Structure 1
Amino acid sequence: MSEKHRYDIVVPTENIAPPVRSPTHGGTMRLIERDGELAAQSAALAEAEAGRGSVLLVEGAPGIGKTALVRAAGEQARERRFGVFTAVGGELDQELPFAVVRQMLEPALLLADAAARAELLADAAGLAAPVFGLGGERVENAVGNVVHGLYWLCSNLADRAPVLLVVDDVHWADEASLRFLSHLARRIADLPVLLLVAGRPGRMLDDFVARALSGVPPRTLCPEPLSADGVGTLVRRNLDAEAEDAFCRACATATGGNPFLLAEALTSLRADGVRPVADEAHRVENLRPDTISRTVLARIARLGPDAVRLARAVAVLGQNADLRHVAQLAELTVPAAATLADTLTREAIFAPGRPVGFVHPLVRTAVYLDSSEVLRASEHKRAALVLAKGEVGGEHLAPHLLVAEPESDPWVVETLNSAASTALGRGAPEPAAAFLRRALAEPPVPAQRGSLFATFGRTLGMANRPVEAAEALREAISLAEHPMQRVGLLFELGFVMLLIGRGREAVEAFRAAHAVVDQLDVDLSSQLSVALALADFTNIEPPSAWVRRLDEAATGLSGEGELDRMIMGLLAFGASATGDRPAGEVARLARSAATGPLPPRDQWMLVNMASSALAISDHLPEALEVLDRGLDEARRLGDASEFRYLSVLRSHTGLFAGRLREAEADGRAALDLWGESRPRDTPLAAAVLVEALLDRGALAEAQQVLTERGLDGEQPFDLLIGHFVLLARGRLRLQQNRAAEAVADLHHCGDKLFEHGYTNPSFAPWRPEAALAHLALGDIETAGRLAEQDLELARAFEAPRQIAMALRAGAAVSGGRAGLDALEEAVTILESSPAELEKARCLVEYGAAMRRAGQRKQAQEPLRQGLDVAARCGARLVVAQAREELAAAGARPRREMLTGRESLTSSELRIARLAADGATNKEIAQTLFLSRRTVEIHLTNTYRKLDITSRQALKPALDPEP
């Protein structure tokens, strides 16, 4: 391997590795005409040293000097006592799982002692352990968790000293490593880390920038070709100090100022004994870039056929080639290969150092392409066999087998299958899918095809390619010999169809499984019932239909197994959607579903069903506890996707409970983390945040969220998400005095819910808001009818919060004594309810009604109670109303707090509470998927607002004694 491919590992507290100089064919030299680029790299290192990380991209044509620049950055970083970790993308390495990441970070782990390694892989960083073959859980079903772990591994490395991460030839980086680089780039600003990447311009680099650095514009350095004067300097330094100007100008013209091409030209001129004088300038004209490969091949050929075979062997084996494997492939003894390698190094074909490698990728390309595609395929097959005899792991054989000609070789199929399994174990399904595709093309023996297609389908699903996954699973189903195999594969196909939103096709797959099961002496009715219920749920079928089916499956359930609990969760959710069972029974089912440990797979689904049913039936603390358990599990696994989704559910439940600051914080966290990765679910997070901001009195900000997320106009209606948007937007429109628009949104929401069988008013309380909107338009009749309908349905379901909402809406319509009685009943119903926000609203409305009825003195007590509850909730709209009513009732309302806990933002409060409970900044960052600097900034602001100076003072400041 050349110096370009060597790992640069520096642990500043230990031995410092010697600087790696920039080699040329003439030896060590100072970079010419690169002062601007060197200064930019130095400035970026200084920023990282100060804790402000960034991404720096060096872009340039082959041979322009990108590698020399990144080496120079490494030297500067070592002088500043950075930890320096480097990697180089390689053409063969593109199909190796986390090849670039492992080049960069694996040596730091493998060279560390047990205690240091445990420290580096502590907490969330431990999720990255399987990438390096260091144990930990297999990550096949949590691919996104691995990059989270790698981020924290980098953070742990940066705890020791600032870090420089270098990826040269990034255009050849593997897909799994690109996922990590993208994850890191979006979070690097708050780490003392500089990510320096270098690559050739063109489609591959554009693809890297578009995918890995999308939304993270890097600073870009584009080194220019050397000027004529710069070329002259190098000619005189490396060929002859007396070289004449005309000769130097000819060299500049012939090479275009490309440093590598110039070095190659000077090597050829020196070998041919050309004198650097004006009369010999015409000899330079033949050394154009398009002739360099021929000159390289000619120089190798002059060394004899053994040298040609050795060079070809290195070209085929790629970087990191071991000399013994090179010798075997070239059919040479190891001593003979070593001698020839030394000769090729002196001829500037190989770079100095071990393992053997070319001085530049362009040289390797010239040698590699000097044969037919068919011959190269044969050489790669031989290379794989040589490596296999040397007991090299299957994943290193696989890239060679990918380009080998299919030969129906069982060994190839077995090797690729094994390599796929290893890749999946490292959390890299993309190369695993490539290995399996090639194994199927070999092809395998007929008996293996079915199982391989099944594995291929599952792997494509993990790689987020569900359409291809479905195709592979269908092929596996057609090849399955045993009926139970077909049943299992049909289940898998059905769930893949659910994943991509093709609910009808999911139902078809599950029904096909049902047809097969009917012919067998097995009982899979429960599994099928759950699968069909999930498909119906995805298809927005009326819940009553799948609830009836599940009722049959629920007969005799113990409630202890995962399947039993999923059935109970679905039953609870379905009943909470229809209102066919009273709230107490719904809560009992949901409680049974959530009792015990969460299932290892799809735990978010059970948490979703159980927590939603508990919240809708007005058991809010239990709902929040279930969600917290789900969030804890998502944090443990580092699963940002589940964390985001459950954060939205917790935000929505927090609204019901009147925990508006927490609801806002959860909503913001989910929306910020989702970005563009879950466009279908983003409206859900936005809608919940809009409702939290609305109740917090931030109407302008709520409108901004709608506008920025494109939720202001007509939207394709997705019931499970769309009703959240319509309800939130309708409530906002009412507060904006746009009652007609509020009526339109709220009735659209109600019509769609009714159309799909979601008839429980507690599922989406649109009628009370619609009644108030009609009242604002003067349509008292419609307002009254809506309030009466809602009250009748709410009383049947028996959830106190919804009954109170209906009573409050009816009181606004009827007014007078009837309205006062309705509000008194609402306040009484909510006395023991955890629905604090609705309690505050009803208390304030009750006090206001009493004041209007002439009971000014009696009105003050419910108004003060409502003010206190609303203030605890952070419901500024209700606080403002209570203050106005108290003043009208002749009381002096307490001053609203502008400092202390009330002055904290939602994010500051969330972080402060974790810190008060003893979590470190690092633990808080890992818990909330934030950077440590973000946590530090929030805590600094919190200390200032609370007028405290220590962590120990947080808890009493946040929860003062009454």
Structure 2
Amino acid sequence: MASSAPRRGLRGRRGECGALDQVIAGARTGQGQVLVLRGEAGVGKSALVEYLVGSAAGCQILRAVGVESEMELAFAGLHQLCVPLMGNLDRIPGPQRDALSVAFGLSAGSAPDRFLVGLAVLSLLAEAAEEQPIVCVVDDAQWLDQVSAQTLAFVARRLLAERVALVFAVRVSTSAAAGEHFGGLREIVVRGLHDDDARALLESVVPGRLDEHVRDRIVSETRGNPLALLELTRGLSAAELAGGFGRPDARPLASQIEESYLRRIGALPAAAQRLLLAAAAEPVGDAPLLRRVAERLDIAPDAAAAVEAAGLVEFGTRVRFRHPLVRSAAYRGADPTVRRDVHRALAEATDSVCDSDRQAWHRAHAAVDPDEALAQELERSAGRAQARGGIAAAAAFLRRATELTPDSERRATRAAAAAQAAFASGSPDTALELLAVAQLSGLDDVQHARQTWLRAQIVFARRRGGEALPLLLDAAGRLARVDGAQAREAYLDAIGSAVFAGRLPEHVDVREVAEAARTAPPGAQPPRPSDLLLDGLVTWFADGRVEGAPLLRAALGAFKRAAEDGDDAMRWLWLTWLAAGDLWDDETWHELTTHAVRSARDTGALNFLPLALGYRAAMYVHAGDFGLAAMLIGEADSIVEVTGHSPMAYPALLLMAWSGDPRAETVIQNGIGEASSWGEGRAIGLGHYLLTVLYNGFGQYQNALTHGEQAMEYEDMSVVGFAFAEVVESAARSGVPEAAVVALRRLEERTGASGTDWALGVLARSRALLADGAAADRLYREAIERLERSRIAVQLARTHLLYGEWLRRENRRVDAREHLRTAHEMLQGFGAVAFAERARRELLATGETLRSRPVDVGGVAEALTAQEGQIARLAADGMTNSEIGAALFISPRTVEWHLSKVFTKLDVKSRNKLRAALSDV
């Protein structure tokens, strides 16, 4: 398994070495490569990594090693990898450069989004690879800090046309969460050697001739694990082996190998053991730092020679362990008192100016008793970590600060701050544990109120149903006595929770929550947009739509102005979107989602971008641009895959329903069932509404009516108003006029409170469905006129369809053809297949002859992928490759690669031809 002759390959690893050779070849030819080597400890991942490095002649090698004790330090692993490239920092776009500089502590600034940092790393690699292919190797990646793991996974999923290879070695059977970030990447599971290779390896290291029965037993017990074969037999003669070494042992091989290392470490002189422990506790491999530590610990220079002679570590320009298990054995096997002494020496030897956070971390590991001064230093480190975007690191610093705080009140305050940071970093279980610690101390009213709110927010984040409602109301009531502004926000959260809980009987009704929110303290003066939103929603739900509509319109206007002024108005997008939908306010939908997507792209906020893209995609579905909607949904899905956040199902289901996708019925029905189980009642109403749209498209009006009436059973926000219009149509077509009249009356209340052209256009069309003669004709024309002034093209097309159907039944075939032809062209162009087929059948019934053409749901050339189509649109709008790359979180070289394919598929030779080419398909 030695790496001294990599070109000869490794024993029994022909397939793995071949794959690594392909990785190098691909990177050299500009085809970005990613590979995960996944296997148990000692199975040969590190040897394969060394084979890769030895085979990469002419490439720049970047290395990082995950270290268990460094998992809490934000960007530690990423910094290891990127240090050699920092000379190219000035060559990447300014916002990316600034984000990376702040992340690495090179400059001060607001906390950068970790995925803007990821884009900076991608750009840094792409720039450096222009000069020389780059091979990035990350060993023990399961122990990377969370931010580094997420960032590198983000980069790995975007390597396409760069001369870069990124290889991770990840240990299986570990509880470390970081290893989960690399799921879905191309991987090779590294297994033990086949028996023949394992026997040959064993015989090559065992002195003398080994009895074949003993040999076979050892091969079987080690399961061909190369390191186990080498280490468990080290220093033993054939006679000793035959005497019973290698007895069956049910413990994991990693434990057995680590114990073999412990035995070897234990045989070293005490000074050599302390030096090895210091090297294990100092994760950067800084040889000068280690020499300073050795001096402080009175370790003689000959200790290094003893450790090297034992084959455990190499001391060169960097300190390198023979295997990661040596590091863990040296650290875990050390006496706790000695370990604290070593951390204390490391803290004293670490530069307090350049590396104050790592110094504080070592001091924290050296501490035994509570220490307020050290707790304060950890608190300052947490602040610096949070400023760099390392919220998980901030949580870790604050957690240790909590443990070291002697005063109970301060301990409660720090525990609460640690809980807030843990929740923000995506660790709700840890946050709840810390809240429990905070509550052990006496809490004042302010602390109790804020901690109750945080606990409620954690519950709501886990399940968007009504489980969090009692907690949110309790928190809001407590906050009302100590912090009016936060109390109002907690009441907004409570209303939102009630909205999502919806119809499920075990939850408090949203009207009751709105009545409770009336007791909130007055808002600030001048009022914040969120204050106006709370007042509007309280009136909307408690007093009625007519009274609440003006207040909601004022609130939405305030949010739009805030967005235009560059203020962060995105905290409440999930509620403002629903409020605008209930007001049939398509302009607000457009403005809020335009700003949300732009803001998220500009700041690299990938935690928020999928939500913004989802709502923007829904806007495009209503506008009839199904192709762009599909592209945005695809982009959101790819980001969710990277971040691990919960996907947003609504936009995709909306698109499926309007497209007439044959899979939609099953998918939506399954969604209704799941929503019932997880307690999100609004999703049930939404599912029934979408099924109503789907069945109306197919002309299955009785099925549409059945689901529409179920959608009408509860006043689900941004659902029920749209359902009324669908029910009017399905009931009228099913011959159930009484159901249509009921739905129309409720629709009149909704649309009357709105007053937008969208609302009044749909109302006029719905009235026309129940009218006759000249009245119906006038109402259909009014509906078309109003909807032409809105952004809701799908409803305009459907109105042409319904008008055409009515005209045909009135025997006005020539007039009918005009509107049916318009409807058919619009619906087919959108990709609304089922509705377009309705229009086609009606046209045929008028005697029209139609030549069918394939429907392109993508909205662009059928051959273009979703990403190609989006890049083509942005390029046609005049954006440069760098701007497109920054917007879509890919490198400029990848943009260029995609555009070359777009030019070929569209048969154009320059960007200025793209717009015309896209409009022709």
Q: TM-score with structure 1 length normalisation?
A: 0.79
Contact 2:280 2:331 in 1 (8 A): yes
Secondary structure of 1:177's counterpart equals helix
Give the CA deviation at 1:41.
1.4
Distance 1:96 1:817, change over 3 A: same
What pairs up with 1:176-187 in 2 under 5 angstroms?
176-187=147-158
Q: What is the aligned partner in structure 1 of residue 67 from structure 2? A: 90
Q: What is the aligned partner in structure 1 of residue 704 from structure 2? A: 742
Q: What is the aligned partner in structure 1 of residue 493 from structure 2? A: 534
Q: What is the aligned partner in structure 1 of residue 504 from structure 2? A: none
Q: What is the aligned partner in structure 2 of residue 274 from structure 1? A: none
Give the CA deviation at 1:638.
1.3
Instruction: Specify the code of the residue in structure 2 equivalent to 1:76.
Output: S
Structure 1 residue 845 corresponds to structure 2 residue 816: no
Deviation digits for residues 25-45 of structure 1 (CA, Å, limit 9, x no counterpart): xx9998555444322311233
Secondary structure of 2:165's counterpart equals strand
Contact 2:262 2:333 in 1 (8 A): no
Instruction: Specify the code of the residue in structure 1 equivalent to 2:410.
Output: Q
Match for residue 353 of structure 1 among 316, 325, 328:
316
Moved more, 375-384 or 547-556: 547-556
Secondary structure of 2:546's counterpart equals coil
Structure 1 residue 800 corresponds to structure 2 residue 757: yes
RMSD after superposition: 4.6
Q: What is the aligned partner in structure 2 of residue 689 from structure 1? A: 655
Distance 1:482 1:918, change over 3 A: same
Structure 1 residue 462 corresponds to structure 2 residue 439: no
Q: What is the aligned partner in structure 1 of residue 620 from structure 2? A: 654
Moved more, 840-849 or 864-873: 864-873
Deviation digits for residues 444-491 of structure 1 (CA, Å, limit 9, x no counterpart): 334632442232122112222345535645765886888767776666
Match for residue 194 of structure 1 among 140, 158, 165:
165
Contact 2:728 2:740 in 1 (8 A): yes
Contact 1:594 1:607 in 2 (8 A): no
Instruction: Specify the code of the residue in structure 1 equivalent to 2:911.
Output: R
Give the CA deviation at 1:919.
2.0
Deviation digits for residues 393-438 of structure 1 (CA, Å, limit 9, x no counterpart): 3432455455546312234323432333333233333343233222
Deviation digits for residues 78-126 of structure 1 (CA, Å, limit 9, x no counterpart): x2x33321112223223332332221123322xx1xxx21224655575
Contact 2:584 2:754 in 1 (8 A): no
Distance 1:331 1:831, change over 3 A: closer
Q: What is the aligned partner in structure 1 of residue 880 from structure 2? A: 920
Distance 1:773 1:486, change over 3 A: same
Structure 1 residue 214 corresponds to structure 2 residue 183: yes
Distance 1:548 1:945, change over 3 A: farther
Contact 2:711 2:720 in 1 (8 A): no
Contact 1:547 1:571 in 2 (8 A): no
For residues 359 and 757 of structure 2, the distance between their equivalents in structure 1, rounded to whole angstroms, comes to 66
Q: What is the aligned partner in structure 1 of residue 250 from structure 2? A: none
Moved more, 592-601 or 622-631: 592-601
Instruction: Specify the code of the residue in structure 2 equivalent to 1:106.
Output: V
For residues 614 and 671 of structure 2, the distance between their equivalents in structure 1, rounded to whole angstroms, comes to 16
For residues 552 and 344 of structure 1, the distance between their equivalents in structure 2, rounded to whole angstroms, comes to 68
Distance 1:477 1:92, change over 3 A: closer
For residues 318 and 367 of structure 1, the distance between their equivalents in structure 2, rounded to whole angstroms, comes to 13
Contact 2:640 2:646 in 1 (8 A): no
Structure 1 residue 173 corresponds to structure 2 residue 133: no
Distance 1:752 1:321, change over 3 A: same
Distance 1:104 1:853, change over 3 A: same
Contact 2:63 2:80 in 1 (8 A): yes
Match for residue 296 of structure 1 among 242, 260, 264:
264
Q: What is the aligned partner in structure 1 of residue 285 from structure 2? A: 320
Q: What is the aligned partner in structure 1 of residue 25 from structure 2? A: 46
The structure that has the greater radius of gyration is 1
For residues 682 and 259 of structure 1, the distance between their equivalents in structure 2, rounded to whole angstroms, comes to 45
Structure 1 residue 386 corresponds to structure 2 residue 368: no
Match for residue 111 of structure 2 among 108, 121, 139:
139
Contact 1:658 1:837 in 2 (8 A): yes
Deviation digits for residues 900-942 of structure 1 (CA, Å, limit 9, x no counterpart): 9764579355432211012234533442456779866865665
Contact 2:418 2:434 in 1 (8 A): yes
Contact 1:33 1:230 in 2 (8 A): no
For residues 368 and 544 of structure 1, the distance between their equivalents in structure 2, rounded to whole angstroms, comes to 58
Distance 1:445 1:285, change over 3 A: farther
Contact 1:690 1:705 in 2 (8 A): no
Instruction: Specify the code of the residue in structure 2 equivalent to 1:652.
Output: A
For residues 263 and 32 of structure 1, the distance between their equivalents in structure 2, rounded to whole angstroms, comes to 13
Contact 2:532 2:552 in 1 (8 A): no
Structure 1 residue 117 corresponds to structure 2 residue 79: no
Contact 2:7 2:55 in 1 (8 A): no
What pairs up with 1:294-443 in 2 under 5 angstroms?
296-297=264-265, 300-301=268-269, 306-317=271-282, 320-323=285-288, 325-326=290-291, 328-329=293-294, 331=296, 337-342=300-305, 344-346=307-309, 348-356=311-319, 358-364=321-327, 367-368=330-331, 371-372=334-335, 374-387=336-349, 393-397=355-359, 399-401=361-363, 403-404=365-366, 406-443=368-405
Distance 1:98 1:678, change over 3 A: closer
For residues 556 and 364 of structure 1, the distance between their equivalents in structure 2, rounded to whole angstroms, comes to 57
Mark the runs of 5 or more structure 1 residues left unpaired by the alignment: 5-20, 236-242, 270-279, 518-523
How many residues matched? 886
Distance 1:873 1:294, change over 3 A: closer
Contact 2:138 2:169 in 1 (8 A): yes
Distance 1:401 1:213, change over 3 A: same
Identity %: 22
Distance 1:44 1:771, change over 3 A: same
For residues 215 and 382 of structure 1, the distance between their equivalents in structure 2, rounded to whole angstroms, comes to 41
Contact 1:771 1:783 in 2 (8 A): yes
Secondary structure of 1:87's counterpart equals strand
Match for residue 532 of structure 2 among 568, 583, 591:
568
Distance 1:911 1:604, change over 3 A: same
Q: What is the aligned partner in structure 2 of residue 521 from structure 1? A: none
Distance 1:574 1:396, change over 3 A: same
Secondary structure of 1:689's counterpart equals helix
Distance 1:947 1:429, change over 3 A: same
Moved more, 84-93 or 650-659: 650-659
Distance 1:954 1:543, change over 3 A: farther
Contact 1:315 1:367 in 2 (8 A): yes
For residues 82 and 820 of structure 1, the distance between their equivalents in structure 2, rounded to whole angstroms, comes to 74
Instruction: Specify the code of the residue in structure 1 equivalent to 2:528.
Output: D
Instruction: Specify the code of the residue in structure 1 equivalent to 2:795.
Output: E
Q: TM-score with structure 2 length normalisation?
A: 0.82
Secondary structure of 1:195's counterpart equals strand
For residues 199 and 628 of structure 2, the distance between their equivalents in structure 1, rounded to whole angstroms, comes to 65
What pairs up with 1:445-594 in 2 under 5 angstroms?
445-446=407-408, 448-466=410-428, 468-469=430-431, 472=434, 498-500=460-462, 501=464, 502-516=468-482, 524=484, 528-540=487-499, 541-542=509-510, 546=514, 558=526, 564-570=528-534, 579-581=545-547, 587-594=553-560
Contact 2:134 2:165 in 1 (8 A): yes
For residues 739 and 155 of structure 2, the distance between their equivalents in structure 1, rounded to whole angstroms, comes to 55
Deviation digits for residues 743-771 of structure 1 (CA, Å, limit 9, x no counterpart): 33322221121xx7x5x8x8631122123
Give the CA deviation at 1:379.
2.6
Contact 1:429 1:459 in 2 (8 A): yes
Instruction: Specify the code of the residue in structure 2 equivalent to 1:71.
Output: E
Secondary structure of 1:948's counterpart equals coil
For residues 28 and 683 of structure 1, the distance between their equivalents in structure 2, rounded to whole angstroms, comes to 50
Q: What is the aligned partner in structure 2 of residue 772 from structure 1? A: 729
Give the CA deviation at 1:442.
2.4
Mark the runs of 5 or more structure 2 residues left unpaired by the alignment: 247-255, 500-508
